[in-house]
Structure 1
Amino acid sequence: MAKGKDGKTVVESLGGFLREQRLASRLSLRQLSEQVGVSNPYLSQIERGLRRPSAEVLQQIAKALRISAEQLYVRAGIVSPAEHVGATVELAILADAGLTERQKQSLLDVYSSFLALNAGQDPEATQHMEK
């Protein structure tokens, strides 16, 4: 398996990240497994880095945890960060070793909300605000 900068395999770091996000969401392993539609032991194996989930399972986990599925795909090694030319801000945040996982998620949430806010505005109003 591919090793990351910290010496952990991609699956181990993904599992740790998922556990951190689950705990931050105040969900038990059983609650998350029910929401995702997988067994409790299978989800536990994913968190411990013993199993590599499919993209479909990751998508369901992301939905249940209310986080970006793309973020999980990159962490799981399913999608290469280089493939996301337009996602440089998100990938830079994810790659920053100086931030905790919770801080990274907070920054991603703020960035996403700004993009959504700007997408709903009139382009001329946005230009006036920049001047």
Structure 2
Amino acid sequence: MASLNVGNLGEYLREQRRTAQLSLRQLADAAGVSNPYLSQIERGLRKPSADILQQLAKALRISAETLYVQAGILDEREREELETRAVILADPSINERQKQVLLQIYDSFRKENASAADGTADGAAPAPGGGVRAEGRTEDAAAAEPPAGATEPVAGADGDGGRAAGGRAGDGAATPPSL
């Protein structure tokens, strides 16, 4: 665990409390801590636990991760990762299985990028022509052809639904789409 940066934390808490237009007593009551204890935290004299920081964050209606970063418990990248995960898990428009799949993909990308940054890429390497080589084959989304007998366009890599210059995917036509 990193050492706590209680001076900056105290200043930050005081600023957040004032922004929320709460008195020291009101915030202490809402967070379930004593006035003297909160005052000591704000003055940089006490090191609050992660649980106390979470209670304070809830009372201030800010993310606990933000306070953890201010206290030096969590670094900025970890906070961003936690917030990304929280947003995915809170999305009501996708089901639990989809959420888990998204989190697995997210973890995979983070691991891949961390490996690439360390110079130890594990598996995905650039292939000739700009595709990605995976398991001995080259996948290049721009060169994807629709399956034989397909009546609907195949989605392209650029999210245009497979349409290129107004035509159907793969036919090379530059005619306007029919309405």
TM-score normalised by structure 1 residue count: 0.59
- Counterpart of 1:54? 49
- Measure how far apart 1:72 and its partner are: 0.6
Query: Are residues 1:16 and 2:11 paired?
Result: yes
Q: For residues 77 and 34 of structure 2, what CA distance do their matches in structure 1 show? A: 33
2:30 aligned with 1:29 = no
Q: Note if 1:63 corresponds to 2:50.
A: no
Query: 2-side partners of 1:21 and 1:39: how far apart?
Result: 18
Match of 1:40 in 2: 35
Q: Deviations over 1:26-71 (max 9, x none)?
A: 0000011011111100000000001010000000000000001011
| 1:1-131 superposed matches below 5 A | 10-84=5-79, 86=81, 119-120=91-92
Gaps of 5+ in 1: 3-8, 90-111, 123-129
Higher relative contact order at CA 8 Å, sep ≥6: structure 1 or structure 2? 1
1:79-123 CA distance string (max 9 Å, x none): 23354563699xxxxxxxxxxxxxxxxxxxxxx9xx68xx4557x
Identical-residue share of aligned pairs (%): 55
The alpha-carbon distance between structure 1 residues 88 and 66, as it changes in their structure 2 partners (threshold 3 A), is: closer
For 2:78 and 2:53, locate their aligned partners in 1 and report how far apart those are by CA, in whole Å: 18
Paired residues, number: 94
Q: Of Structure 1 and Structure 2, which has the larger fraction of its residues in helix?
A: 1
What is the letter of the counterpart of residue 52 of structure 1?
A: K
With structure 2 as the length reference, what TM-score do the two structures score?
A: 0.44
For 2:13 and 2:35, locate their aligned partners in 1 and report how far apart those are by CA, in whole Å: 14
Amino acid at match of 1:62: A
Cα distance between partner residues in 2 of 1:15 and 1:39: 15
Specify every segment of 5 or more residues in structure 2 that has no aligned partner in the other structure, as ranges: 95-158, 161-179
Structure of larger gyration radius: 2
Higher strand share: 2
What stretches of structure 1 move > 4 A for 4+ residues in a row? none
Distance 1:59 1:52 in 2: 13
Q: AA paired with 1:59?
A: Q
Could you say what secondary structure the match of 1:67 adopts? coil
CA shift, 1:75, in A, is: 1.0
